[in-house]
Structure 1
Amino acid sequence: MTTFTALPRLSVHFWRYWAGLLCTALGDAVVYIALPFLVLIPAHPAGTATAQVGLVVLAGSLPRFLAPLLGLLADRLPPRTLLMLAGGLRALPALLAGLAALRSGTLPLWSLMLLAGLNGLLATVSYTAGSAMLPRLVPPALLPRANALVTGALQGGPLLGYGLGGALLALVGGGSALLLAAGLTLGLTLGALGLPGQRPQRQATPEGLGALFTAAFRLYVRSPLLLALLAFSFLLNLLLNVMNVRAPVHMAVAGRGAPDYAVFEVLISGGMLLGVALMAALPGRLGLDRLIGGARWGVLAGLMGLLPDAVWSWWAGAAVFGLGLGVLEVAATTRIQGLVPDEVRGRVIGALMGVNAVGLLLGAGLAALPLPTATLLLGLLAALVGLALSWPLAVRAQRDREEG
């Protein structure tokens, strides 16, 4: 007689958080599509448009430099409080910008930069708080599944939101898109209301900020695996901001503008969703380290599709890139959470985001330079190939360190 063991289920608290996260991700995607084309609405030369989009993307990326400090908040304050505040405060600037855009048809560059900066700051708060909270909200056996669902929400929202944002831009303009985004962004606040109260982690560490952050960075230095994940994540974020700046401009020059750019982002998100879905079945069979190594090569294969100028090639590359990125996101996040103690998890995740912010800054700066897109992407491809080849060495060094 065959017996079956029932799979454990995620709690209702997790699903409330997940639903709120999905709504907020949908609203963020609408904002993401609207901002570049509120810059591009006036008829600007291609070089000027690239510089303006680069400034907006840069403004949204700069708050990530505060991630180590925000990670400290995630370690010291109740996550429910942080998530509620982040969701509510993110809705307000989108609402004000939407009303202003409806009145004037466009927005001055400084206001778009301010909106992008505030949204980036609050998104960093919610990400660090949520990532540090999740291992305390679900049992370890369910952590890969929970991370897959969270990543699925963060990418499933954009899958719908990019299409919705592109349609609204074409039909009624960016103002209406931002108003809708403001309402959707409140989802995280409502979802956080259903979370159980969790006391912040208390640890016996020195109170100086330097000493608090040193504990997080020391973990990276001592762990070959964390250090390898940090290096690849840095270059990947540099690449993402190059794509964020160059893709809308490329679609405006080589294609139909906003509709083609929306398809590009939808394909990245769709590929990520497929990668996230695969993660529900693969971790137990292949192992996280092997999945991370394979996903890196998937990301590189997708990047190669962006080297030609044809729009269809960018679309194909986006789908493959997203697939590799989806597997990598879930596997790497779960691996980091398992390697890091509870009391410093927020700061370790914040340190990762802070280093990523340097990559985003450099990516926005590189993308604004008068260099061919293919040249930039080819250089990044070569650097990422080198890191992908070094991954097995990092896995072996980590294993040796743990056994020794």
Structure 2
Amino acid sequence: MPPKKQVKEEKIPLGRPGNSLKSGIVGLANVGKSTLFQAITKCSLGNPANFPYATIEPEEARVIVPDERFDWLCQQYKPKSEVPANLTVYDIAGLTRGASTGAGLGNAFLSHIRAVDAIFQVVRCFDDAEIIHVEGDVDPVRDLDIISEELRIKDIEFVEKAHENLTKQTRRGGQSLEMKKLKEEQATVEKILEHLKAGKDVRKGEWSPKEVEVINPLFLLTAKPVVYLVNLSEKDYIRQKNKNLPKIAAWIKEHAEGDPIIPISVSFEERLTRFETDAEVAKECESLGTKSALPKVIITMRKALKLASFFTTGTDEVRQWTIREGTKAPQAAGVIHTDFEKTFIQVIVYNYTALKEEGDEATVKAKGKVMTKGKEYVVEDGDILLIKAGAAKS
């Protein structure tokens, strides 16, 4: 008898499905969130001020994703229209100790975090007597503990409510398929609760695809990917030294191993926005022997969200489209236009790497690097696509 073919269980990512994902800037009050939001989005939204809760309703803006591949394609095709990828970023009000029980802006703040898909967590490491700290002094490890605990306490509350609702339903008993499904959900919810009460974040747990299907509709705060932004003074950022950096690294290793940490100076980034041209910014950075951290921040967040890009090219337009990693060709076509997904026939594809190596489309084609693929093709980051679809039914 031939061995049974192993069916590989498809891993479902935590979080909302889809490509239009949002990131929120989160942290205690007065750590530099709104100033970072203004610097990263190059807009005057947000309300940087020296008092807690200067930001109440979250501000939203789109950030252009820096990508050398897109820049190179634009130089190559010199199109009439250039459309880069972007990332939606929210500036969320400052959290405070006790937010999970309604302190400060408490519940409003936490509901705003629920609405985003990933978190930029800003941790203050700069001393400035003029900028008050809600806890009285600068202690990033304490701040990390506060945020971590507040998010987890709120998640426990969400999960306990879900457990209560499921228990009411499973009490009815019976052997129906629906009851079996409810009992499985209840067991998963109990496992999540146990995980949270042990002081662990949901995103750091080992979950089966079935369990992820139960977790995702709960929109848990600790299930969201986190990128830690360590806000240094300009002096410390330039020399890449600060007494707190090793303590933060140790805390993340213990509580959130694998999550990215990026040192940044929000005051430096804000100062760079005052220059009128990119050339002036480059000159300033060169004179200081440093560079802006913002491109790295944006790219790291896209990776944390498991986002990738494909391109459509031509002399009319070069456009970078955003998809989730693992997206198949018909769904990628649907990002361009929903009708293309419904009427998808095939896709002609080659990767940006092949184009850059060979220099032009004709050589890529001549060397057999252009492929024709069907519905099961998984689009790779950097693919250049030509979608073939039928006429939409009216």
TM-score, normalization by structure 1 = 0.22
Larger Rg: 2
Q: 1 or 2 for the larger relative contact order (CA 8 Å, sep ≥6)?
A: 1
Q: What is the TM-score when the length of structure 2 is the normalising length?
A: 0.22
